[in-house]
Amino acid sequence: MKRKDKPNGITYLGCLRRLSMGMLLLPLAACSNGNGGGNGSSGAASTEISKSKEPVHLVFYSTAAWTQDAFNERFGDAMRKRFPDYTIDFIANGKGTSFQELLTAGTVIDVYWQDVNSTIPQMMEYDLHYDMTDLIKKHGIDLKTLDPASINIIKDMSGGKMYALPLVNNTSALYYNKDLFDKFGMPYPKDGITWDEVMDLTKKMRRTDNGQEYYGLVSNFQPHANLSPLAIPLLDPKTEKPTIMTDERWKILFDHLITAKRSLDNKTISFVRDRNVAMAEELANIFLNNDMTGYNWDLVAYPTFKEAPDRGPQPLPTLFGITSVSKQKDAAMEVLKYMLSEEQQLSLSERAIIPVLQNEKVLKAFGTKSKYANVNFQAILKRKFTPIAMKTKYEAKVRDLYAKSVLELAKGSVDLNTAFRQMDEDVNKMIAAEKAK
């Protein structure tokens, strides 16, 4: 099956077949993601589930690095418990289960899911995108009850349609190592801290004590640029030209990234594993995917920019899209609707998985049943999310090209203007090559 940059229709429907159980046993990738989800239907949990006369088999697929266990814990177990008559399988991306390999083998994918950067572009690339608008109305899902930033970016990326629904959310927060602040007699960061204050603290916390090195701040392009309230698109969505030379705000973000990298002596250091760094700007679900027990840590709300003082970070929703080739679209929508119910969103929220359902009861419950006690979880939801910057199908490749210059900039091997010109040139070449395929 060949990919299409501009899909015009389904080219492989006749050759598709259901996934064999043998393929489901293939080794799966390790888990690196974690999100929380929401409900667009306030009464979704109480609606009667229609009974299908035919057996329902739903195949969920993701190119994210999720294991079977992670999918089951977050989504699968709840789905199967609510729909015991449905066979619900999950295929993780791995050897023999890439998107291209599955489609070539004739596997019918009913629901594809990934983060907002990838879901819709990949569904369009493989001609699997499907406007779920009518299904959403038919099944009584009220989009007004869901995180507006997530819904708006879906509509923007779908050309006014709805190629996906958000089930869970993510964002960024500032974590800090309480032991290091105690060791050096420094006050802990507080909610409302600004990035200017973080940069100053980063320099102060870079210490050497009894031959032991202690570092300031871990901060990477993702999430610092991608989830920033400045919400700078990587490309102009109309011209598909890089914004690195045209938006002055990029200098602010790169100055932060350079300062952070220098506070690590230009090394790669893990806040979770190494525990010798004072602070880290990380995804808000890092504690879901890493064992942080026995570590004296806490977090504060995402730092503010003086250029956008009242805005929170952008969210990073996980989007689930019913595919154009699914023969079980109604059943798939009932499952997604249930995962958006207050019942399920509350369960996710209690475990500190960011819900998309904007329900006071659900939001107040955030983190209340987490295994990590006395953590400032509510800080993650302290401010309203900033609208998400427009995405293009080149998002991941552009992000990599922008990010790769940070180390050389921190070393002083290249100046900012030269680096920006090189990024601009590299991105334009990459896009031209992609369009020529």
Summarised one tens digit per residue, pLDDT across range 221-269 is: 989 999 999 999 999 999 999 999 999 999 999 999 999 999 999 999 9
DSSP 41-103: -TTGGGSPPPPPSS-EEEEEEESS---HHHHIIIIIHHHHHH-TTEEEEEEES-TT-SHHHHH
CA distance readout (Å), 127 to 12, 30, 136, 391, 436:
9, 27, 21, 18, 19
Three-state DSSP at 288 gives helix
- Look at residue 11 and tell me whether its pLDDT is greater than 90: no
Q: How far apart are CA 398 and CA 118, in angstroms?
A: 13
Are the C-beta atoms of 365 and 349 separated by less than 8 Å?
yes
Are the C-beta atoms of 120 and 163 separated by less than 8 Å?
yes
Ranked by mean pLDDT, the top range of 7-11, 231-235, 291-295 is: 231-235
Name the DSSP class of 132: -
- Look at residue 100 and tell me whether its pLDDT is greater than 90: yes
Q: How far apart are CA 75 and CA 31, in angstroms?
A: 14
Q: What is the CA radius of gyration of the chain?
A: 22
Are the C-beta atoms of 168 and 317 separated by less than 8 Å?
yes
CA 38, distance to chain mean position in Å, is 14
Query: By mean pLDDT, which of 50-64, 193-207, 292-306, 334-348 is the weakest?
Result: 50-64
Does pTM top 0.85 for this prediction? Answer: yes
State pLDDT tens for residues 301-347.
999 999 999 899 999 999 999 999 999 999 999 999 999 999 999 99
% of residues, the chain, pLDDT over 90: 86
For 149, phi and psi rounded to 5 degrees?
-65, -40
Predicted local distance difference test score (pLDDT) of residue 53: 65
Three-state DSSP at 184 gives coil
Q: Which residues pair with 168 in a beta bridge?
A: 318
- Look at residue 33 and tell me whether its pLDDT is greater than 90: no
HSE of 157, CA atoms in CB hemisphere, 13 A: 33
Are the C-beta atoms of 215 and 263 separated by less than 8 Å?
yes
- Look at residue 5 and tell me whether its pLDDT is greater than 70: no
Domain boundaries, the chain: 13-170+317-370, 172-313+390-436
Q: Which residue has the tokens 């996980």?
A: 318
Predicted local distance difference test score (pLDDT) of residue 15: 36
Hey, what are 25's tokens? 């046993």
Which of 370, 354, 386 has the alpha carbon at shortest distance from 168?
A: 354
Which of 33, 8, 39 has the alpha carbon at shortest distance from 346?
A: 39
Hey, what are 363's tokens? 């939001």
- Look at residue 20 and tell me whether its pLDDT is greater than 80: no
Classified by CATH at the fold level, domain 13-170+317-370 comes out as D-Maltodextrin-Binding Protein; domain 2 (3.40.190)
State pLDDT tens for residues 368-385.
999 999 999 999 999 999
Average pLDDT, the chain: 90
Predicted local distance difference test score (pLDDT) of residue 311: 93
Same fold, 13-170+317-370 and 172-313+390-436: yes
Q: pLDDT category, 27, cuts 50, 70, 90? A: very low
- Look at residue 279 and tell me whether its pLDDT is greater than 90: yes
Q: How far apart are CA 254 and CA 359, in angstroms?
A: 36
Q: Considering the domain 172-313+390-436, what is its CATH architecture? A: 3-Layer(aba) Sandwich (3.40)
Which of 144, 79, 33, 37 has the alpha carbon at shortest distance from 363?
A: 37
- Look at residue 23 and tell me whether its pLDDT is greater than 80: no
Q: How far apart are CA 88 and CA 111, in angstroms?
A: 11
